[in-house]
Chain A
């Protein structure tokens, strides 16, 4: 029987949660790297025993850990992230130029085809790659160097490159997103890039339709239709049907279209999930009711999913990398909260139950479907 392994990054360590295909009884392992912030943990789709973790600390900086046995044991690999050349400046919060400074790795994206290749999205925003399983890292500097870099500025969480998507049908095509610069696409394996933000409207910036400056929170695709992108922007849920060249809003009847996560059902490319959050000044669900909203129509028409989720006195947040879907026949959906809960649904969101309730604040959730 297939099984699911959920990889959880928290403010104080990493955890793995494992269950068989019924996804009822879970075994919890961890904390790994206890006391460290684990921004992201993700496994290679080529070799499911190979898992990468971003381990960081305000005291001791950045480490990258790698497991080659499915998370049972770990070893530190390369942690030198040096910008290519003289990195120049971006805008600081007050609009003044500020030098690019490496702070941490937000997101690790293992290659779809090579277990030794992995991409890293970092703060201050840049994209790095390793082709030796994390031992060494080099910047794909065309992203920072394409021209708009001096206009990028940090969001409240820092100027982070938090989303990396590989097109499974076109190995040269990559999408990334940066808070607060926007979304970008490369069609040549990361050498050159262009902003893909046409149609985004951000009323909190001086030019609401600017080429860059948008606070994109997360982007998701379905592997069968890689030209269709779904975005949770700071405010607004957006959709593109042309690989990001043009976007349109699909917030529809959502009670609030602020949020962080967005994901796509594993077997239904028009079924989406978001977790509406009240506002950018109140990072918790509306009326204390934790609800996942699902659209089966690719956006615009949404339904609340509440069974098994707290519907009173719940004031947690769900961060941008903290939702994932598995590949089992009945798609499982998972998300983690700032309150330390990891919720799972084994029936595409109809019913939910916590796997764990009392972890440190959850920063990321990924899931592996294992044979």
Chain B
């Protein structure tokens, strides 16, 4: 499957815009993030808060043009994302100075 990271996290992890991951089914946001952090440990704490394990407030998740930010982390992502036809987008809020 494929994940698209915001610019600062690409720089931090030393990866290009899109990251390819092997994730065992069922494909959920939690399992994707677990795999992403295993592949790039520097991302630990940058997408999910260390203390709560929850999505950081200024980040959102999108899949197949749908906002998945408020879905349970253990909900299964669409088949198109699981099969790699569409990426999971991790998007930083357009905010701040």
Contacts and interface: CB of A to CB of B under 8 A. Distances in A.
- Which one of B9, B44, B49 has the greatest number of beta carbons of chain A within 10 Å? B44
Nearest to A35: B8
Interface residues on B, range: 10 to 19
B46 interface: yes
B59 interface: yes
Contact of A61 (B46, B93, B96): B46
A82 interface: yes
Given A76-B42, A80-B45, A59 B51 contact: no
A58 B12 contact: no
B44 A59 contact: no
Contact of B51 (A36, A63, A79, A101): A101
Nearest to B52: A101
Contacts, number: 47
B56 A59 contact: yes
B18 to A, nearest CB: 18
B56 A80 contact: no
Contacts of A57: 8
Interface in B27-73: 42, 44-47, 49-51, 56, 58-59
A102 interface: yes
A82 B6 contact: no
Contacts of A79: 44-45, 50
Interface in A75-106: 76, 79-83, 101-102
Contact of B56 (A60, A82, A101): A60
A111 interface: no
B4 to A, nearest CB: 15
A145 to B, nearest CB: 18
Nearest to A81: B50
Contacts of B44: 79-80
B58 to A, nearest CB: 4
Contacts of B45: 61-63, 79-80
Q: Kindly name the residue among A60, A76, A81, A102 whose own CB sees the greatest number of chain B CB atoms within 10 A.
A: A60
Contacts of B93: 59
Interface in A51-71: 57-63
B12 A59 contact: no
Contact of A76 (B12, B59, B96): B12
B51 A82 contact: yes
B50 A102 contact: yes
Contacts of A81: 50
A61 B56 contact: yes
B5 to A, nearest CB: 10
A345 B42 CA distance: 39
Interface of A: 35-36, 57-63, 76, 79-83, 101-102
- A-B pairs with lowest CB-CB distance, top 6: A60-B46, A59-B58, A59-B92, A76-B42, A79-B45, A80-B50
